[in-house]
Amino acid sequence: LDRGINWSAPLPSPYAPEVTEDLLAGGRLLREAFYQSPRFTEPRGTVIIGPDDHDAPLLLIHKGSAYARRTLPDGKRAITELFWPRDIAGLEHIAIGASYREVVAAAALSYRLLPSHVLRTLMAERGVALKLLSLAAEAHLRMDRHLAAIGRLEARERVGGLLLDTYDRLRHNGLIARSTFNLNLTQNEIGDHLGPTSVHISRTLRQLRKEKIALVYRQVAVIIDFARLREMVAGLPPLFFPAEPVLNAG
Amino acid sequence: LDRGINWSAPLPSPYAPEVTEDLLAGGRLLREAFYQSPRFTEPRGTVIIGPDDHDAPLLLIHKGSAYARRTLPDGKRAITELFWPRDIAGLEHIAIGASYREVVAAAALSYRLLPSHVLRTLMAERGVALKLLSLAAEAHLRMDRHLAAIGRLEARERVGGLLLDTYDRLRHNGLIARSTFNLNLTQNEIGDHLGPTSVHISRTLRQLRKEKIALVYRQVAVIIDFARLREMVAGLPPLFFPAEPVLNAG
DNA sequence: CGGCGGATTGAAGGGAATCAATGCTTGTGG
DNA sequence: CCACAAGCATTGATTCCCTTCAATCCGCCG
């Protein structure tokens, strides 16, 4: 059981050392730009960015969570990315003028928007361009890893991975302190994200509950046994890079 | 059957109109930078970028093809991206100093390398930064779509999708003119890319062969019946954006 | 209270994995 | 020039993970 031991994940990703300063400056400018826009709030389920929106804005999340969703021609749905507070969604819109997926609020969502043309202007600032590229790279890394998981792991490991990844991401950003957190996804949505049907997600969760590894009840997840959960998802590469000498205290 | 009718895919992706000029300029500069470096050639199977390389370079492909591969802790492999001539691989390295996957030559590969720090300098040029972001966005789009396919479609549709996507990408870049092309992937590698085992890939290909839809023999693919193939992968969203009024003749 | 979306559970069926044997090419060396 | 090994592909038999279908249940809201 979790006895207050720090079970959190390894250190964050090491950026190329020579860019950390630029990244910090760029991140600051980016945040300031967002803060010039008003803060919106929308209830769960709201489509923030439509599937065919033109010149869609970028989106900084303050509170709640959101996901990117694709609807296939036959009506099947796939959730390809999850966004949590401090994440920026819609980086693609800076270069590509049309959206190809929806961004949907997974919980009551508080956020700010920034039109893509503002970003294009702001990119003149070296740090901003670099920060945007690094955000894109992080998203790429997560999708790459998710792709490997979906293609090569079984439902059990994928579900375990989702729980652990979410915990690690939230914990790493200081958004939670205990082993309980709000997943904000119905079992149907979990299925759309991981591949299996909601029926199978239900069975998998029941199994984890029965084995006293983790508990998901009404979108609230509780990780009971970190050691066995981490062992269960050992097939998955680590979410962040392996620990390294700290590069910068910035 | 294919009677010389143009079965190729819809138009390329529409960039935000106000950036097309910058993109062209940036692309030119980027290409020029690559051309300052020597051209290398490696045989099929060569690992161009190792899984733990630090400060890995970017890679412009001239001839042949390559793929990005992850090896999971238990030895299972996942191929998460395919690269064809004119593609640039390793955009992540500009911001993230460590590689998290391998880049492997899928055929005799002719390519050039560019160290990431050169890119970081070159990014001062507005067009270059924008071009890099747009390349990242395109890669993101492809992965997003692939994720949806892996998560929601069956093996048959995935295999069909791979064939059709490859054809469309090659054709769109003027790299092939007929319905035959070299896939450069063993059935094992196809499996690593699409999810199923090589055994099941073999059976699926046999089925397509029997139905006279497509033929893959010794890594060479021949699309026999475009109409039925496109119908078969109707569940997949289009590779490029739907046709639009042409933005720019540039 | 009735209705509704989400979750649960059982039974049956199917798609894909696994295991294992065989065949086919190509390259190598005797 | 043939034997042989190695890697890839093919195929059958069996198993199993997951889907599908359908019924039920639960908590919540008007």
User: What's the CA B9/C1' C5 distance, rounded, in angstroms?
Assistant: 40
B68 pLDDT band (50/70/90 cuts)?
Answer: very high
pLDDT score recorded for residue A242: 53
- Find the closest chain B residue to A140 by CA distance: B140
CA A44 to C1' C3, whole Å: 21
* CA–CA min distance B165, chain A (Å): 16
Mean pLDDT (whole number) for A153-165: 97
* DSSP code per residue over A71-136: E-TTS-EEEEEEE-TT-EE-GGGGTBSB--SEEEESSSEEEEEE-HHHHHHHTTSHHHHHHHHHHH
pLDDT digits (tens, 9 = 90+) for B101-117: 999 999 999 999 999 99
- Identify nearest nucleotide to residue A216 by CA to C1′ distance: C7
pLDDT for the residue A91 = 96
8 Å CB contact of B147 and A147: yes
Any idea which nucleotide's C1' is nearest the CA of B196?
A: C16
Contacts of B98 in chain A (CB under 8 A): 13-14, 241
A98·B14 Cβ contact <8 A: yes
CA geometry: angle at A67 spanning A81 and B131, to 5°? 55
**Nearest chain B residue (CA) to A237:** B72
Check pLDDT > 70 for residue A144.
yes
Q: Do residues A2 and A176 lie in contact, with contact meaning Cβ atoms separated by under 8 Å?
A: no
> From the centroid of its chain, how far is CA A126?
26
pLDDT tens, residue by residue, A82-102: 999 999 999 999 999 889 999
Cβ proximity of B184 and B64 under 8 Å: yes
Q: With bands split at pLDDT 50, 70 and 90, how would you rate the model's confidence at B9?
A: very low
Q: How far is the CA of B206 from the C1' of D12 (A)?
A: 15
User: Among candidates A132, A143, A100, which has minimal Cα distance to B68?
Assistant: A143
C1’ C5 / CA A8, Å? 35
Contacts of B51 in chain A (CB under 8 A): none
Whether B92 and A137 lie within 8 Å, measured CB to CB: yes
Do A237 and B70 make contact, defined as CB atoms within 8 angstroms?
yes
Contact A41, B124 (CB under 8 A): no
Quote the minimal CA–CA distance from B54 to chain A in Å: 9
pLDDT tens string A193-245: 999 999 999 999 999 999 999 999 999 999 999 999 999 999 998 887 654 43
At B200-248, the pLDDT tens digits run 999 999 999 999 999 999 999 999 999 999 999 999 988 876 544 333 3
Cβ contact B94–A137 (<8 Å)? yes
The answer to whether the CB atoms of B72 and A123 lie below 8 A apart is no
A140 contacts B235? CB cut-off 8 A: no
- Tell me which of A67, A93, A140 to substitute to probe the interface with B (most B C-beta atoms closer than 10 Å): A140
List chain B residues with CB under 8 Å of A119: none
Shortest Cα distance, chain A CAs vs residue B50, angstroms? 15
Indicate the pTM of the whole model.
0.91
Helix (H, G, I), strand (E, B) or coil at B78: strand
Residues 6+ apart with CB under 8 A from B136: A91, A95, A133, A136, A137, A140, B91
| Minimal C-alpha gap between B227 and chain A (Å) | 17
Strand C bases within 7 angstroms of protein beta carbons: 6-11, 15-20
**Are B68 and B105 within 8 A, CB to CB?**
no
**Facing B133 at nearest CB: one of A55, A80, A95:** A95
Give the number of other CB atoms < 10 A from CB of residue B75: 7
CA–CA separation, A155 and B123 (whole Å): 42
In terms of Cα–Cα distance, which of B145, B158, B155 is closest to B233?
B158
Distance A214 CA to C7 C1' (A): 17
Which residue of chain A comes nearest to B91, CA vs CA?
A: A137
The model's confidence at residue A111, banded by pLDDT at 50, 70 and 90, is very high
Best residue in A15, A58, A144, A246 for a mutation probing chain B (most B CBs within 10 Å): A144
| A-chain residues near B235 (CB < 8 A) | 72-74, 76
Residue B1 pLDDT grade (very low, low, confident, very high; cuts 50, 70, 90): very low
Q: Is A36 helix (H, G, I), strand (E, B) or coil?
A: coil
Nucleotides of D under 7 A from a protein CB: 7-12, 17-22
What number of C-beta contacts closer than 8 Å exist between A and B? 213
Percent of chain B clearing pLDDT 90 (strictly above): 81
- Which positions in chain A touch B241 (Cβ < 8 Å)? 98, 100
The string of DSSP codes covering A1-14 is ---S------PPPP
